[in-house]
Amino acid sequence: MSMDEEFDELTCAQHGKVYTTYVCEHLISDPVQKWHSDYPDAENHWPDAWCEACNAHYQAEGEWNEHNEDLVPINLLCHVCYEELRSASLARLTGADYDAWDNFVDACFKELQDKSGLLNQEFSLGSHQRYDWDQETGELVFSNDGVPAVIAKIDFIGSYSSKTNTWLWSWANFHLLEGMRVRVAAVRDYGESHDYPWLTTSKWEAEEGDAWDMAAVAAHVLQAKGVYRSPREGGAGFLLIREISRA
């Protein structure tokens, strides 16, 4: 299940000119199940994906090869359809499993509220005239009259788009410098070990409240000092504050 030519284009009847992806036909007919795939990288943003049943063939060989590839029915899919179907797969977590996730998120959000209160009490982050953050330095700087007042070391957690109503994790956003996103992959690893698909799915349908929840989870997993929301046209980016001090 390899793609020799990545980022090939096609025309989708629903989404127009798009990129090609490949998934097993079972995920197309029933996306609300676990998706198996590699994680996105700079060369392949939408890695080939297959279902639990097809994964049994993969596990039997430990790889895709001439013995099992013919057993897996592969379909061509546009990258937008791929993202929409994969987003739908989050609904697979139900019952007690969903309750465990929901309780975990609530606890993380409460923890973030407490951290935010302490940060604002000590550094009055909302009172400064302006802020700037820079990928090269990995710093968020609050200043007044051009004079830095507070400096924070940051990572980029992810971004919320109000245009598409989606959340995108930084580990799958290859417009960012690697240094801004590499540590956040630990949140993805946490999701993998606990089977929390919101943490392992790179892009999914969301509201801004969901974005705050993901930021809270990241702050918990990475034991951060807090989170800062950086608004922009059509949404916001969420920054993880690892260290912070007065200038």
Last residue in a domain, options 45, 73, 91 = 91
**Same domain flag for 104 and 152:** yes
Whether 34 maps to a domain, the answer reads: yes
**Residue 66: per-residue pLDDT:** 85
15 lies in the same domain as 74: yes
Last residue of a domain, one of 91, 122, 153: 91
- Mark whether 109 and 78 lie in a shared domain: no
Domain's final residue, options 91, 107, 133: 91
On whether residue 143 sits in a domain, the answer given is yes
Q: Supply the pLDDT for residue 7.
A: 61
> Are residues 204 and 233 located together in one domain of the fold?
yes
- pLDDT attached to residue 2: 39
Does 34 share its domain with 55?
A: yes
Determine the pLDDT at residue 214: 98
| 85 and 201 co-located in one domain | no
Does some domain include residue 125?
A: yes
In a domain, 3, yes or no: no
Same domain, 124 and 234: yes
> By residue range, what is the domain housing residue 57?
9-91
Give me the pLDDT at residue 136, please.
97
100 and 49 in a single domain? The answer is no
Residue 71 and residue 120 in one domain: no
**Are 137 and 180 in a shared domain?**
yes
- Asked whether residue 121 is assigned to any structural domain, the reply reads yes
Q: How many domains in the chain?
A: 2
Q: How far apart are CA 176 and CA 238, in angstroms?
A: 13
pLDDT along the chain (247 residues), means of 10: 55 90 96 96 95 94 87 92 97 98 98 97 95 98 97 98 97 97 98 98 98 98 98 97 97
